[in-house]
Amino acid sequence: MWAVRQALRSYLIAFIRERARQLWLEGQVSTARVVAAGTLLDPGALTIGFARRFTDYKRPDLIFHDPERLARILSALRRPVQIVFAGKAHPADDGGKRYLQRLYKRAIDPSFGGRVAFIEDYDTHVAHFLVQGCDVWLNTPRKPFEASGTSGMKASINGVLHLSCGDGWWVEGYTGSNGWLIDGGLTEGDPSAVDAADAEALYRLLEEEVVPAFYDRDASNVPRRWLRMVQDAIRSVTPHFSARRMLKQYAKEMYASMTSQAAAK
């Protein structure tokens, strides 16, 4: 299983680098843009993925709440971490577009040493590589606005560990051994205070649990603790989350109920 996970991450990094190379071949492309596209990503480093529609309640830049602390996490000696962002904003969502612009600036920021990448032209083909090749799937919605979170389901089924706030599908999906729950302890009040608390919880999880679990290796350089979580993720998510279940629940719990109510009137 570890060999498969390594191969999938390598495929992802190779795919990203090839897209960056194509940018370079187009000509008149700045070096910064090529770096932002992922040319410096390491196929052996812990890779976090964040790919979805960019809008305010999803808080795509929460992980940058403390840039200096994040930089230390990403560039830790012998335990490097990298983050791959991808996604689009609705054409009418100006706030979402500003998030995209800010994340791109983070990707070209030299303080992160090329360990933050932004993949342009996000589509299902890009998503295919991301939900298989990342090691961790990050989701940071502001509760209670996340509707579902299907990308996280797909990632977990592929053995990518979920790191999310307790909203959307993760309220039901999290078992304590198949990923991590970001809980800053605040759900109401000043949004900036909630964001600060959730960011602190996220950093603490990365520093104390996620990164150590990935780099804690046995004599054969295999992360046994990590792989147990991968197995738990596949085992706990695959039987319970599917499009079939979604359609059945909608039909039974919403559409049939609404039809009955309409008929009763």
CB 241 within 8 A of CB 169: yes
**Percent of the chain with pLDDT strictly greater than 70:** 100
CATH number at residue 236: 3.40.50.2000
User: Model confidence over 22-65: pLDDT tens digits?
Assistant: 888 877 678 888 889 999 999 999 999 999 999 999 999 999 99
What is the pTM for the complete model shown?
0.93
How many domains does one find in the chain? Answer: 1
Lowest-confidence pick of 2-16, 39-53, 66-80, 139-153: 139-153
Alpha helices in 124-238 (DSSP H): 124-133, 150-157, 170-173, 191-205, 211-215, 224-237
- Which DSSP category does 248 fall into? H
Nearest to 93 by CA among 56, 67, 129, 138: 56
φ and ψ at residue 49, rounded to 5 degrees: -110, 140
| Cα-based distances in Å from 106 to 21, 79, 83, 116, 202 | 20, 21, 11, 7, 18
pLDDT (0 to 100) of residue 26: 79
Residue with tokens 């809008």: 55
Strand ranges (E), 88-160: 116-119, 136-139
Domain extent for 147 = 2-264
Q: Given pLDDT bands bounded at 50, 70 and 90, which one contains residue 259?
A: confident
Q: How far is CA 136 from the centre of its chain?
A: 6
Q: Which amino acid is at 162?
A: H
Residue 169 CA to residue 159 CA, distance in Å, equals 16
Q: What is the mean pLDDT of residues 95-113?
A: 94
Residue with tokens 């843009």: 33
What 3-state DSSP class applies to 144?
coil
Q: Which of 64-78, 122-136, 139-153, 210-224 has the lowest mean pLDDT?
A: 139-153
- Residue ranges with strand state E in the chain: 46-51, 81-86, 116-119, 136-139, 161-165, 179-182
pLDDT over threshold 90, residue 162:
yes
Q: pLDDT band at residue 129, thresholds of 50, 70 and 90?
A: very high
How far is it, in rounded angstroms, from Cα 238 to Cα 128?
17
Task: Determine the pLDDT at residue 169.
Answer: 93
Average pLDDT, the chain: 93
Band of pLDDT at residue 115, cut at 50, 70 and 90: very high
Which pLDDT belongs to residue 28? 62
Q: Tens digits of per-residue pLDDT, 175-216?
A: 999 999 999 998 788 999 999 999 999 999 999 999 999 999
pLDDT at 31: 83
